[in-house]
Structures are given as C-alpha cells and as structure tokens.
Structure 1
C-alpha cells in the first residue's frame, strides 16, 4: 500500500488511524481506466492514511486488462489489478476484490466515473467517527436515463425495502464504505451486491448501518451494462435473500409449513372424494382425484425436505465456525473483572 505524505483533509480530522482498500469491478471499460485512476488519486491526494486501489478486470475483451496493467506500472504497487479469466459478473468481481483487500475499511464503487471518488473520504469518515459497519451512498440526483436505469432501479429498491425491511433509499448505488472485519463475514454470489446491507444484517445490527448522500454523474465513456433484464435477476435473488433472512436458522419451519399446507389441501380433496364414493358416486375418472393424490405426496416430500434441512443446519452450526446469533461488541475487560467474589 502507498503511504500518504500530506496531512489528512478536513473531513478526516479526528478519524482513527486505518488502512483503506478501494475495490472497483471493471468490465469493458478501457476508455475509463486512466481517467478513473487519475480521479481516485486526485480525490485521495491528501488522504493522510495508507490506501490501496484494487481494480478487478471481470473478463474484459476490449483492452481493459492492458490498460489496468499500464496504470499499475505507472502509479506503483498500491494499484493492484486483479484479472478474472472470464466474465463472472459484477457480484463475483466485487467478491474477488473484497477477498484480496488488506485494509481495515473497504470502499466499493463502479469504474465508469458515475460514482465520484471525491465522496470516498466523506463515507469513510462517517463510518469510523460514528462507529458504523456500513455507510451506503445515496444518489439523490441521479443522472441516468429514465427507461434504462431509473425505472428498473426504483422497482428493485422498492422490492428490496419491502422484503428486507431495511429503509435504504438507493441500494443499487455501488459506492459504499464497509468495516472490513464485518464485510468479510458475508459471501456474495448471483446479483447479491445489491443486497449487501441485507446480508450484513445477518451478522451485525441494522442500527450500525447508515446512508449518505453522494454525487452522481452521467456516463461519458463506454456502454452501460444495466437494463430491464437485470431487474428480473434481482427478483430471483431477492427470493433467496428473503429465505435466508427469515429461515436460515430454521429451514424446517419453511418447508414444513409449505408441506402441511399442501398436504392439508390434498387431504381435504381426498376426504371429499371419499365421501362421494361412500354415497355411491364414481370418482375414478375425476382429475380432482389425481390433484388430491399429488398434493398429499408433495406435502410429504416438503416435510421430509424440512427434516433434512434441519439436520444440515444443525451440522453447520455444530461445526463451531458460525453461531446462530451475533452480539454487540462488548468493552474489553481485565481477566479477573466481572466476577462476584465471596467476602
């Protein structure tokens, strides 16, 4: 990492010493590489603390790899390109950068210069001064086209707020500052970079998260990778988020509840047909008979799946690596403090 030689900027006054890692996924952004790296260095010229810039090339095919390597050669070892051998999409690229980050604080942002690197010190300062685990950017004055970006983003944010019960206004903003020790307890996949606050709520309190207004600029180089189709993928991932938030510690309740409901419907159907049979009616050719049979069978399968899921989750927690709960950070105590001593 590079060592800053100037005094910290005003916004970072009274901020505890720390090391900062900036993680930036890039895909086919060859025209933005040099302007972006320059903008980051200008924004952090008087940062005052150690920092590094991790530029994750997500399988680009337009010369982004060569441009990143050239910037690393020109700027120094604190600029660290990471090359993925194919396009794994933004979430996986972000995870690769997070895994490689060495800082106490991690900031993520897009490499298309729509997020402003000048907002990084402000987010970090709030994170550390208020002892938070996450400060998310809020693009109050978005500069995107209405159809391709704003509409899908509004739909996604509304769905996410409804499901997660987290009152973030702009979860789609990639510019976020995290406490590294907390972020690294979360694994990302799919389109989960949108749901990082929801995933972090499984390892820390939502009270330790905040949102901060940030600048937003129109894209001037390259092509946008966002659109309506991404909203559909977000909906699918949102179902997974909802399951893990509500049932990760008790999957048997989810599968068992579904199984009981489906099995009860099947049982009522078969009971009704059984009554008709006793009254002398022919039920052998009725489609309702097949529906009742398969509902009962499906209910049994859901119930057994719930039992298996409970066994797996018990094995997961019994390994001792993860607890089914998380506590707030307690003050440090002397080895003999906190015990009642008999007089």
Structure 2
C-alpha cells in the first residue's frame, strides 16, 4: 500500500465527509493505493456515525473510536499501529490542512529519501495574538532546545516513512515533538515543506492558553528525556555529588576553625554556615537517591496501555 492517512479528531462531524471526499479525489487522481484511518478521540457529537457511514461506502476507510478523550498523542499512536502504508500522512480533521499537498509529501519521502517531512504553515489564518505569536515563541524555543531546525512544530500535516512511525512511542502530549522523537530514535533526515493553510470552515479552534503552557512543559520534558532519559544518574548523581562536596567543605571548614582557631568561640550549631552545610549535604544526598531511583524505575519499566478503544472498523 502506498499511503496511510491518519486523522485524529474530536467533535469534527461537520467536516469529515468533505475531508474524506477531498482526500479520495487526490488519491484517485494520482493513482495511489491508500487507506484513511479516522481516530475518534472520544467525540461527543455525531463524528463516529459519520465515520461509520463513510466506512460502509468506502472500504478504504478505517475507524478507531476511543472510549473517552485520551488526547491527540494517543490517537496518533493508535493510528500508527494500524497504518499499513509505505508512507504515513497525518493531518487534522478541521479542513485547515490541504490534501492537495499529499502527492508532493509522498514524493519527498519516497524519491528524496526523507525519513520525515513536516509541514510549515508560513501564511496562517489564525488569530495573531491568540495563536500566531505564541506559536512563533514556542517554535523558537523548540528549535533552540531540541536542535531540530523546523519552523512549525505544531503543524498537523506531516509525512513519515513507515519505519519512523513503527519505531517511535508517541505518548502524553508529545505529538508536537514527533520530529524530536524521530531524531532521538536515529531518523535524522528530517525535511520541511511550506504548505497551504486554510481558514477554519466549521466549528471552533481547540487551541487555548493551557495548551501553550503544556507545550513548553512538554518541551522541558523531552529535553530532559533526550539528554538524561537513559541515564538519570548522570544528572541527579552529578548534582548530588557536587552539593554534598560543597556541604562537606563547609562542615570541614567549621570543624577546623573550631578546633584550631576558635576553641572558646561560638558553638558550631550557632553559626549559620552549619545550617548551610547541613542543608546542602541533605539536598545532595536526596539528588543522588533520586538518580538511583530513576535508574531502578528505568530498569523495571513496563509497557502500559494508555487508552481504551471502544469500537473499530475495517481493521485486520
């Protein structure tokens, strides 16, 4: 199979039929073999009914329905597991991503040998204050922190070689950082393509300030995981040793000063340096223990199910 199109969605019943018809038109005009995988992330509208109708009309349409809203990352993860295509395309269901971009994205993966191609919505139709400026700030921070030189990490329109989606683990809210996850997994040939962004036709945006804040917190998480995820002791152990040495140095100084220079002076416990030394050694010990526990947790890590599927359609 040439292409799998994975579409996570939440309450997008008005746009699904139009999006489906548009994708099918592009696939047929380019003679692609394809599948469309809709992942309903706990919609409360009639989205699943629309997917059922599309599936009955078109055997290339597959559906996954979550028991409740588990998040976009989990929806992508479920779609990636089921994808059978050589190239996997992800796009949002709100018609702001243009299916006409699919053939060129496919060619960049197959002909130009990219592992991943991320869309760049250079010209946007979103609110400047509510979304554009926060996105620019977020993308700048992501580039600086991750080392992946993309202009638009948040763009839902991306193309992947099948090897990429089968070998990365998208969890939490890490869908924004799939290029970083791919790079950390060894897929370094990452490209970018300017894509057409369209104004939202139905419904309303689900972007909010909380997602912006969560994005930066996730960025810190993925930075830590990429640097120290396999060896937490390298960070916590180093900090612990440094702080313990500083505290022990203070304590040693106080002991020498009391024994040889001020034997009749104040008690050690009456000097503020004593409490600095004590606190620093305790914190250093705690850091070291945290690193040790991190190593134990890493060694005993087990796969956990992160979502529950209520229904599925046309999945083998």
Confirm or deny a common fold (TM above 0.5). yes
Corresponding residue for residue 143 of structure 2: 161
Aligned Cα root-mean-square deviation (Å)? 2.1
User: Using the alignment, how far apart are the partners of 2:235 and 2:71 within structure 1?
Assistant: 30
Corresponding residue for residue 327 of structure 1: none
> How far off its partner does 1:65 sit?
1.4
Instruction: Decide whether aligned partners of structure 1 residues 282 and 154 sit closer, same or farther in structure 2, where only a CA change above 3 A counts.
Output: same
> How far off its partner does 1:185 sit?
0.7
What's the secondary structure of 1:224's corresponding residue? coil
Contact 1:152 1:227 in 2 (8 A): no
Corresponding residue for residue 8 of structure 2: 25
> 267-276 or 229-238: which moved more?
267-276
Contact 1:192 1:237 in 2 (8 A): yes
Q: 1:35 and 2:18 equivalent?
A: yes
Which of 194, 197, 202 in structure 1 is aligned with 2:184? 202
Task: Spell out, residue by residue over 1:258-296, the C-alpha distance to the aligned partner (whole angstroms, 9 max, x if none).
Answer: 212332343344345546655322453566644432321
User: Using the alignment, how far apart are the partners of 1:127 and 1:59 within structure 2?
Assistant: 32
> How far off its partner does 1:137 sit?
0.6
User: Using the alignment, how far apart are the partners of 2:83 and 2:163 within structure 1?
Assistant: 11
Q: 1:211 and 2:184 equivalent?
A: no
Task: Spell out, residue by residue over 1:57-93, the C-alpha distance to the aligned partner (whole angstroms, 9 max, x if none).
Answer: 000101111122122122x221111100100111111
Corresponding residue for residue 122 of structure 1: 104
Which of 292, 295, 319 in structure 1 is aligned with 2:277? 292
What's the secondary structure of 1:44's corresponding residue? helix
Q: 1:184 and 2:169 equivalent?
A: no
Contact 1:276 1:283 in 2 (8 A): no
Which of 40, 46, 62 in structure 2 is aligned with 1:63? 46
Q: 1:80 and 2:62 equivalent?
A: yes
User: Using the alignment, how far apart are the partners of 1:262 and 1:39 within structure 2?
Assistant: 61
What's the secondary structure of 1:126's corresponding residue? helix
Contact 1:182 1:204 in 2 (8 A): no
> 152-161 or 208-217: which moved more?
152-161
> How far off its partner does 1:19 sit?
2.1
> 179-188 or 51-60: which moved more?
179-188
> How far off its partner does 1:231 sit?
1.7
Contact 2:9 2:93 in 1 (8 A): yes
TM-score, scaled to structure 2: 0.87
Q: Which residues in structure 2 correspond to 1:125-136 (within 5 Å)?
A: 125-136=107-118
Instruction: Decide whether aligned partners of structure 1 residues 86 and 285 sit closer, same or farther in structure 2, where only a CA change above 3 A counts.
Output: farther
Instruction: Decide whether aligned partners of structure 1 residues 62 and 274 sit closer, same or farther in structure 2, where only a CA change above 3 A counts.
Output: farther
> 269-278 or 238-247: which moved more?
269-278
> 100-109 or 246-255: which moved more?
246-255
> How far off its partner does 1:194 sit?
0.8
Contact 2:232 2:291 in 1 (8 A): yes
What's the secondary structure of 1:83's corresponding residue? strand
> How far off its partner does 1:51 sit?
0.4
TM-score, scaled to structure 1: 0.80
> How far off its partner does 1:309 sit?
4.2
> How far off its partner does 1:42 sit?
2.1
Corresponding residue for residue 252 of structure 1: 233
User: Using the alignment, how far apart are the partners of 1:109 and 1:157 within structure 2?
Assistant: 19
User: Using the alignment, how far apart are the partners of 1:286 and 1:63 within structure 2?
Assistant: 70
Q: Which residues in structure 2 correspond to 1:82-101 (within 5 Å)?
A: 82-101=64-83
> How far off its partner does 1:192 sit?
0.7
Contact 2:164 2:187 in 1 (8 A): no
Q: How many residues align?
A: 297
Which of 126, 138, 155 in structure 2 is aligned with 1:144? 126
Which of 72, 91, 97 in structure 2 is aligned with 1:109? 91
Task: Spell out, residue by residue over 1:93-139, the C-alpha distance to the aligned partner (whole angstroms, 9 max, x if none).
Answer: 11111111111211101110111011011111111101111011111
